[in-house]
Amino acid sequence: MAVLGKVYLVGAGPGAQDLITVRGARLLAQAQCVLYDALVTPQMLELCAQAELISVGKRSGQRSTAQQAINVQMVAAAQRHAIVVRLKGGDPMIFGRADEELRALEAAGIDYEVVPGITTALAASAETRQPLTKRGVARSVSFFTSSTAPGQPDEPALPETDTLVQYMGGREAIATGQRLLTQGWAPETPVIVIENCTRPDQRIERMTLAVLARGLEAAHGPVLVMVGEAMRERSHA
């Protein structure tokens, strides 16, 4: 019986090639096979040019690879190669469906390791120079997404927190703004919307919660929305 390879779930970070971890880059250079998400940039894939590359991207509203099919391909890759990288945008353990993939590997008896990456919320905080926490203003942060598994409610309860960060917040961000106003958040609460974080086509918009609730400019890349007093732009006097 052939010896099974090892699978590394690697976080690619928010997009920029040089924001992947040193360990992640080293594993890409060693990999024989890389299964990568839609949000992984071509520049990132230059780090694993020697590997068999398999696109298993998932994008909201677009044709994509079903999670079960990704699990099957990942297990099959480990049966052919000694080092397999499952390359995920951001961090594998934040909205990366890592639990489903780890379960599939465990069920197949395949060894694995998780290599963390910079999740987009932290990169967006750095890009906008707005800390997610701020002494005397914000002592709690919550990450959430409106994307749900089949059979779950489409509108999960919004967490009570000082700073609220919505992943995959394109079209859903408008509804979030409306719900926050209904829950009593002040209309003038500052909001930052960042599209294509850390990439050359990055776009940052500042607005209030009331403006967010009325609509957003159409986005062509991944969108992150940050809401709360910690997002208020600092004066430079």
Burial state string for 167-187 with b = 16 or more CB within 10 A and e = fewer than 16: bbbbebbbebbeebbeeebee
Closest-CA residue to 124 (of 9, 16, 4): 16
Enumerate the active-site residues: 37, 58
For 127, half-sphere exposure in the C-beta direction (CA atoms, 13 angstrom radius) is 28
DSSP string, 27-79: HHHH-SEEEE-TTS-HHHHGGGTTSEEEE----TTS----HHHHHHHHHHHHT
Question: For residue 35, what are its two tokens?
Answer: 């299964």
C-alpha 177: how far from its chain's center? 20
Q: Which helix (H) or strand (E) is 164 found in, with range?
A: strand 163-167
CA distances (Å), 119 to each of 127, 163, 225, in order?
13, 16, 14
CA pair distance 43, 16, nearest whole angstrom: 8
Rounded to whole angstroms, the Cα distance separating 185 from 195 reads 24
Q: Which amino acid is at 82?
A: A
